[in-house]
Structure 1
């Protein structure tokens, strides 16, 4: 039996149409329109760990943040790591230009995530706690991609990258937390309706760690593209909780993101992701000059 049909039967869905959802890199996601014209999302994470994290995060945050409601879930069998059936949020993933008003609202909701205090139950659940091993986490993260990066960039550039990483790692400020961090907080995972945040999705990489890493993709995809958004975002964020000095951490995390992204492209297929790889190689070179 087709795997998708197996899940449709498991969840007892009366299907009208099925569409693939783009920009989902660690899960297979389908948008399913039902006979009654409601839409639901069927998410199939690539690993059991990601399934458990996503499910735990959605249940934990359901009364704290605008996250998708879990309609049902399947814990898996020999064919599946697990699957989650999600209600549709109002709005669509952020894909347009960001103005100051929207940046402010994004800051508010990002701060609300970081302001959720992990409980003892959270610290012993499926969401990994890495706050007290923050430097070790960053070290392991960098070198887990380094073995792929070294195969696709100039050796001198690789050596410069290692020197940059090791020297800047020691100069980072004290970690800010422990806090829940999304770890993939980017426009595609922010749902927008009427120029306001109506939802946050994709928590399969969520961790309990330091907030500093969570500003990386905001900087890459919004702050550096749309003038004034960084200041507006910070105002929104600080209406909920204090923010760290971003200037102390953004250069390091911009480097780490570019380096890791090149490694990610190598892992997933360098030709398939050539454009993204070249974009990050340009960033890496500019930071190391």
Structure 2
């Protein structure tokens, strides 16, 4: 089976040098280091001779419009919100310097929210203030509206789509949220692995239909991040320095995105079906307090009445993603981790389906 992972992209230091010479011809590269946490795109931290630091993101060609979507997203967010994001320095979608599309951002000073908490560098009150700030920014983001659902990168007046991503979701648009949700779920279920857990797949496809029928047909379309979790939130001096990784954003449901954000931050690192150990140093933190802080922040910038979502929806989405990328998980994880992930798959399936 072909697995479209970044490990199959042989990016050399010479090619990275070529990219930076194009945009910074008077500077030399002082240091290059790969950011290992990135799974799909090769991502590099690059320091130049003038000590400026940048993040280079090279677009995995199996998802040809990821960089385009991120550029459009960053442009919209900068124009219409106060959300802090990395500064976009340069991009190339015509593959002039190297055989891949890419974008370059200024490196943001700060560290991942999860890491800051793990290292004990955050007080309980500061954490709740950050959760409220996330809610405020999410409310601003959901104020950006669209006339369709799905991939907003294929209708931008400034950029044109160059190639369609495989699957049933990316590169496509939908008239209603129900159709968009179905395509989004099927895309997750078949992301890079269409064969693992074959006995579970028919019931999961049926569950997708059940969920989609429960959504109101009048749900509005707005800008959703879809991957807002602690690894994509950078903090500095007790405040949010930047929200990053916008390549999976799309035109979707505000209620759905709010639910995903709740779960993504509270659980910290999917797949988990219990509160994250990340918050062990906050023994008084309850799920209710967490939800109240996020909602209070959201309602301060967006008066939209969020539609209650099924309680197991966020876990269901993660179950689809985990099964749909199982071969990837096996290759990227230790035997012990794979055993734990497999147990999580079985537990989530039993909880949601049976």
For 2:245, the equivalent position in structure 1 comes to 202
Task: Say yes or no: does 1:46 pair with 2:90.
Answer: no
Q: CA deviation at 1:179?
A: 0.9
Q: For the Cα contact (< 8 Å) 1:18–1:33, is it kept in 2?
A: yes
1:94 aligns with 2:113: yes
Instruction: Measure, in 2, the Cα distance between the counterparts of 1:62 and 1:52.
Output: 16
- The question of 1:19 aligning with 2:33 is answered yes
Give the TM-score taking structure 2 as reference length: 0.70
Partner of 1:113: 141
Distance change (3 Å), C-alpha of 1:45 and 1:149: closer
Q: 1:124 to 1:163 in 2, by over 3 A?
A: closer
Judge conservation of contact 1:134–1:210 (CA < 8 Å) in 2: yes
For each residue in 1:197-249, what CA deviation from the matched residue of structure 2 results, as whole angstroms up to 9, or x when unmatched?
A: 22111111221221233234423333353522111100001101135546424
Q: Which secondary structure state, in structure 1, belongs to the residue aligned with residue 90 of structure 2?
A: strand
Partner residue of 1:69? 87
Question: Which structure has the highest helix share of the two?
Answer: 1
Alpha-carbon distance in structure 1 between the residues aligned to 2:304 and 2:347? 29
The 8 Å contact of residues 261 and 277 in structure 1, kept in 2 or not, is answered as no
What is the correspondence of 1:1-289 to structure 2 with a 5 Å cutoff?
A: 2-12=14-24, 13-47=27-61, 48-63=64-79, 64=81, 65-77=83-95, 79-95=98-114, 96-97=116-117, 99-118=127-146, 124-125=155-156, 130=173, 132-146=175-189, 151-153=195-197, 155=199, 157-174=200-217, 176-224=219-267, 225=275, 227=286, 228-242=289-303, 244-245=305-306, 247-266=308-327, 268=328, 270-273=330-333, 274=338, 276=341, 278-289=343-354
Give the match for residue 271 of structure 2.
none
Q: 1:191 to 1:176 in 2, by over 3 A?
A: farther
Q: Distance in 1 between matches of 2:189 and 2:155?
A: 30
1:195 and 1:22, CA in 2 relative to 1: closer, same or farther beyond 3 A? farther
SS at match of 1:101: helix
- For the aligned residue pairs, the C-alpha RMSD in angstroms reads 3.1
> Displacement of 1:10 after TM fit?
2.0
Equivalent residue pairs, number: 287
Alpha-carbon distance in 2 for matches of 1:269, 1:254: 17
Moved more, 47-56 or 167-176: 167-176
Alpha-carbon distance in structure 1 between the residues aligned to 2:204 and 2:263: 19
Contact 1:27–1:43 at 8 Å: present in 2 too?
A: yes
In the TM superposition, residue 270 of structure 1 has moved relative to its aligned partner by 3.1
* Contact 1:258–1:281 under 8 Å retained in 2: no
Q: Deviation string for 1:15-38 (max 9, x for gaps)? A: 221121232233211111222222
Partner deviation per Cα, 1:172-219 (whole Å, 9 max, x = no partner): 234643211112222211121223222111111221221233234423
Inter-CA distance 211–81: structure 2 relative to 1 (3 Å threshold): farther
Greater alpha carbon shift after TM alignment, 157-166 vs 27-36 = 157-166
